[in-house]
Amino acid sequence: MFLTGLVILPACKRTPEHARVDAALAPLMPGDTVAVGCLRLDKLKTTPFYAKYVNGKQFPALDEFTKATGIDVKENLWELYFTTNGTTNYVFIRGKFGGDFGVEPDIKASGVRKSSYKGRYLFSMDDHGVLLMNTGAAVAGKVDDLKALVDGLDNPARKPPQALLDMVNTLPGTAQFWAVSSQVASLIPAGRSTQEGREGDAMQNNLLHAAHKISSLKLWGDLSKGLELHVRAVALTEADAAALRDVFKAGVGLARLSTKEDQTDMLKLYDGMTGSSDGPIVRIDVNEPFELVDPLLAKVHGAHDTGTH
């Protein structure tokens, strides 16, 4: 009976109840990290969103990564973790891109310089590179930052950002993308005081002002059936939470007023956005059916184009 149970258990593998940072990567993350974001490519590949918007499409950032490393992001990477301390940024990578144990990894890309640093393979192009920690784990970033990361591993007092890792463990295991931060304000640069780009800078400064009212933030999402996005922020006070909630609701209201009556998809889009607060907790939830993803992406793309001209 016991042996039968052992045979059955692997077939009954379930999605973990909570999210987590991969055990091979969590110890590598610097202790001064203030934000961690994750994209679960292995989970995303099973969604209709991936089939329509990712598979077969060109993405400059992913294409540049493939060009620089020879790694096919869409095929060989499982998880990407983005970390920052406000100034230094890393991308921790989990996937299949190394060679067998003791054999040089099979990474081939034009213009990439192969070297090693303290026994680890380093593939670099100009001042950026990818450092292989083992056959299934790597880190991308500026070469000097990658070397500093390895140097820090020699410090016996070094510890990972445990508070952030604990925050991740409160997120649902079904999330295909998520992010947590303990210092939101440090992620938003202050706007310039010059006339040039005044409107964009005013928005940036408004975001910075709002971020200073938040002690921590986490978000997660699921693209299995449409767009499901949840944001939870802990404000410094209940009054700050109410103010942030009202700003969000006012923004949605203004967007609705500026939408023409015949733009029914956009009106339905705003119906799926809600904001609330409970004590110091601010809740923002977005639930959109798959057929509304197109107008949402068009709206985001239009806002980006407007902000760049």
d(Cα 211, Cα 217) in Å, to the nearest integer? 9
d(Cα 288, Cα 292) in Å, to the nearest integer? 6
The pLDDT assigned to 121 comes to: 86
> Are 224 and 281 in a shared domain?
yes
d(Cα 204, Cα 9) in Å, to the nearest integer? 51
Is residue 63 domain-resident?
Answer: yes
> Are 303 and 257 in a shared domain?
yes
Going by C-alpha positions, the residue among 303, 149, 286, 131 that lies closest to residue 222 is 286
pLDDT for residue 103 is more than 80: no
Provide the domain limits for residue 216: 183-307
Is residue 22 domain-resident?
Answer: no
Hey, what amino acid is at 146? Answer: L
> Are 142 and 189 in a shared domain?
no
Final residue in a domain of this structure, among 153, 174, 199 = 153
Which of 64-68, 78-82, 218-222 bottoms out in mean pLDDT, i.e. has the lowest?
64-68
Average pLDDT on 171-192 reads 86
The pLDDT assigned to 130 comes to: 87
Is residue 226 domain-resident?
Answer: yes
Of residues 308 and 72, which shows the higher confidence score?
A: 72
Strand 226-235 and strand 273-278: the pairing is: unpaired
Using an 8 Å Cβ cutoff, are 91 and 80 in contact? Answer: yes
Of residues 103 and 112, which shows the higher confidence score?
A: 112
Is residue 197 domain-resident?
Answer: yes
> Are 88 and 195 in a shared domain?
no
- Provide the edge-to-edge strand list for the sheet that holds 177-181: 113-117, 120-125, 128-134, 137-142, 89-95, 77-84, 35-40, 177-181, 214-222, 226-235, 281-289, 273-278
> Are 116 and 190 in a shared domain?
no
Beta bridge partners of 250: none
Using an 8 Å Cβ cutoff, are 188 and 206 in contact? Answer: no
pLDDT, tens digit, for every residue of 119-132?
898 888 888 888 88
For CA atoms 162, 167, 171, 176, the dihedral sign is negative
d(Cα 23, Cα 28) in Å, to the nearest integer? 9
What tokens does 244 get? 């942030």
Is residue 165 domain-resident?
Answer: no
What tokens does 20 get? 């987590």
